[in-house]
Chain A
Amino acid sequence: MQMFLRHKWIIAAGLIPALVIYTMFSIYPILSSVYYSFFKWDGFSPKQWHGLQNYVNLIGDGVFWQSIRNNLYFVLFSVLGEIPLGLYLAMMLNGKLFRRDGIFRTVFFMPVVISTIVVSLIWNMFYNYQFGLVNTALRAVGLDHWAQNWLGNPGLAIFVLCIVVVWQYTGLYMVIFLAALQNVPSEVLEAAELDGAVGIKRTWHIVVPIIADTIFASVVLCISGALRAFDLIYIMTNGGPSHSTEVGATYMFSQTFSSMKYGYGSAISTAIIIISFGLIIISQFILRSLKR
């Protein structure tokens, strides 16, 4: 071990393979995508230099901004839904009542493990207008007029999808928080109890500050995960009806590969990178000021 520390070149040599692979499959594609975004290109005919025209079109493109707005809904629902719910479930499972019962942990974690395709198909059936579980349940209790074409209603569809995302990923954060909670020293909790801090007071003033770092890390994970959303929407609604559930990634996909506008698609992905960076920086800023 000492030898490794003294000879830094061994460490560097060990990093090179990973660095090469990362550059080849991550950095290079991103840079070439930025390069393509300055062209008008259908993938076959020669590229035409287009300058910043793609970006000018992008700024005037209502569907793009709608897809970014939908992305933000995803971020909001994920951060405000998955994290508090995950924390709540973790605390429940860490409590005396369920501590010994592994089954609940498994049940809540299950959706994370199931492939998104399966999740999408299951929820598609739930939301089906004629035979779906949701509508059948509503009709069974006489709420016929509440029965909806959930995924086909442009004002509603994106929120209906948000529920699926929250359902799918809450388990992940629950497990992360559970691990953090189990590392909270029992002496601290006992001391707090002696001082009269119980229930919600103890949670808010003692437990949450101790696992704050884990929560912050989860928020960043959550934001980047929500911005990456693609597969679920691609399968459940394909961005439809008429763009109402489009997110950045699905819009990029349809513009690039269905409309064959490779240049414009590249401009969209570059814009997504910039917006995502911005969001992560803003969230870091907010979290840091919260920490103080």
Chain B
Amino acid sequence: MKMKWAKTFWVCLLMTAMIGVLSACGQSDNTNTASGNTGSTGNTEQKQVVLSFMTTWSESDPFTGVYYKNAMAFEKANPDIKLDIETIPYNDYPVKLNTTAAGGNLPDLILMIGGGSMFEQIARSGALMPIDEMMGSWKEDFLPSSKIKEFNVDGKQYGIPGEVSYATVIYYNKKILKDAGYTEFPATYEAFKAMVKDLKAKNITPIAYGNKTGSVLLASLLSPLNERISGPDLYAKIKSGEQKFTDPDFMNALKDIKELSDMGAFNVDLNSVDNVQATNLFLSGNSAMYIDGSWGAKQISKDKAADFEVGFAVFPQIEGGKGSMSTMPGATNQGVVLNAKLDDAKKAAAEKFLQFMYSEESYQNIIRDGNMVPANVTAPADIDPLFKEMTGVLAGVKEITPVYDIVMPATVVTATKNGLQGLTTPGGSTPEAVAEELQKELGQ
């Protein structure tokens, strides 16, 4: 009997000791962080404001490095404000944004890669703070309201875009086209198709695409075809029910894509490789053209060999179509929006951040890095010559029409991506089946 009590005693003692150790660990952890905080605030005179910021920006990324550097410059100029940056890879960002917003866990500052249905949904749910009262810092002649309207929902401004991008630029290998007998890029779609056929007959892959995620064909082929065939307002008409996906206007664009695919215009593995791989295909001389948005120029400029001559072209005119080459599908990107729940101190800090990130100087940095911007600023002298050439070619574009994924609901966008992959896969779907599927998705 005595033995038993002794055992119980020792077991209890052991358990208490274990619990003690565990809780002590937790406690010491707490005191550590607490002292850490007081230490850092003690260094600065005022209390430091920490803004959590979810973004895709990172220093080494060719596309967003300039924004990251601008943000770092802001931190340096404002020692009383600290950015707590969480960087998410570009392809995973929409899912991350969507789930944190749905869970009500948005950080203080949130990057919106572009406008569109997801952004509008989050804004309408009341999770974001309108910045109308801050807009006084940006004059109309510096930042025209027509250029920032994609970040405006129901008359309230939520953010300011950092750059403008065109969805379709045709990059071509000057040497390959010259050797095949083309000194000028064709200006009509018929001539373009004839050239594609001719290149194919000469055993050259005409166009390299990297459509693994499905978004490239959507933005850079379907969008311009729709515009050239039906003019700028097709998507709005389809959304309002005035037109259908199954009507000839939209169907013709799908048929054109199918026709291009059937004549072998694309690299065989277009749906299994990504943008970077497709760019490499083009830069290694394995394809005559590469089609992507205006953002593709950066990767090309960075990776191309010194003697590689790249040409730029606008998507050609379709005879009898309602669109024109002075119009281009495009979007405004890289706007930072604010969480609706910011307190006054954080709100003031966030306002400072926006004023800095979308100032003349920041915009000039963005241009210097090879982007077009929504603001009227004078271009710096030391910009990339390749980028300068591209903007020269694109100078004729006077009007921007909204891209597909900004106008259409997410369900339709996903279905379209899959439909376009089906169209460009041997033995895949027919244009009729794809159009019907889309109409069904829109109706739901």
A residues near B (Cβ < 8 Å) are: 3, 42-45, 127-130, 149, 151-155, 237-238, 240-244, 254-255, 257-262
Contact = CB atoms under 8 A, between A and B. Distances in A.
Contact of A152 (B8, B94, B268, B277): B268
Interface stretch (B136-144, B330-338, B345-353, B410-418): B410-418
Interface string B1-16: 0001001100100000
25 contacts: A3-B4, A44-B102, A45-B124, A45-B125, A128-B272, A129-B268, A129-B272, A130-B286, A149-B269, A151-B272, A152-B269, A152-B271, A241-B421, A242-B419, A242-B428, A243-B418, A254-B414, A257-B99, A259-B410, A259-B413, A259-B414, A259-B415, A260-B98, A260-B410, A262-B102
Nearest to B102: A43
A44 B101 contact: yes
Contacts of A257: 94-95, 98-99
A265 B140 CA distance: 44
A185 to B, nearest CB: 38
Interface string B404-444: 00000011011100110110111111000000000000000
Given A43-B102, A45-B125, A258 B7 contact: no
Interface residues of B, number: 43
A243 B270 CA distance: 15
Contacts of B124: 44-45
B162 interface: no
B410 A258 contact: yes
B31 to A, nearest CB: 25
Interface in B90-118: 94-95, 98-99, 101-102, 118
A255 B102 CA distance: 15
B4 A149 contact: no
Given A240-B214, A257-B99, A128 B7 contact: no
Contacts of B7: 3
Contacts of B271: 152, 240-242
A151 B212 CA distance: 10
Given A3-B4, A128-B269, A260-B98, A242 B410 contact: no
Contacts of B121: 42, 44-45, 260
B421 A44 contact: no
A177 B8 CA distance: 42
Contact of A154 (B214, B267, B425): B425
Contacts of A254: 414
B8 A3 contact: yes
A9 B11 CA distance: 14
Nearest to B418: A242
Contact of B428 (A3, A154, A258): A154
B213 interface: yes
B97 to A, nearest CB: 10
Contacts of B419: 242
B11 A240 contact: no
A36 to B, nearest CB: 11
A161 to B, nearest CB: 12
B411 A259 contact: yes
Nearest to A239: B418
B268 A242 contact: no
B297 interface: no
B269 A240 contact: no
A241 B422 CA distance: 6
Given A44-B101, A241-B424, A243-B422, 18 more contacts: A3-B11, A44-B102, A44-B124, A129-B268, A130-B286, A149-B272, A152-B271, A153-B426, A154-B427, A238-B212, A238-B214, A240-B214, A241-B421, A242-B418, A243-B418, A257-B99, A259-B411, A260-B410
Contacts of A44: 101-102, 121-122, 124-125
Interface string B210-237: 0011100000000000000000000000
Contacts of A129: 267-269, 272-273
Contact of A240 (B94, B98, B421): B421
Given A130-B281, A241-B421, A260 B269 contact: no
Contacts of A42: 121, 410
B19 to A, nearest CB: 12
A199 B63 CA distance: 63
Q: Give the interface centre of B99, B269, B413 by most chain A CB atoms within 10 Å.
A: B269
A235 to B, nearest CB: 10
A128 B273 contact: yes
Contact of B268 (A149, A238, A243, A244): A149
Given A43-B102, A151-B269, A240 B428 contact: no
A131 B118 CA distance: 38
A-B pairs, top 5 by smallest CB distance, nearest first, are A242-B422, A43-B102, A129-B269, A241-B271, A242-B421
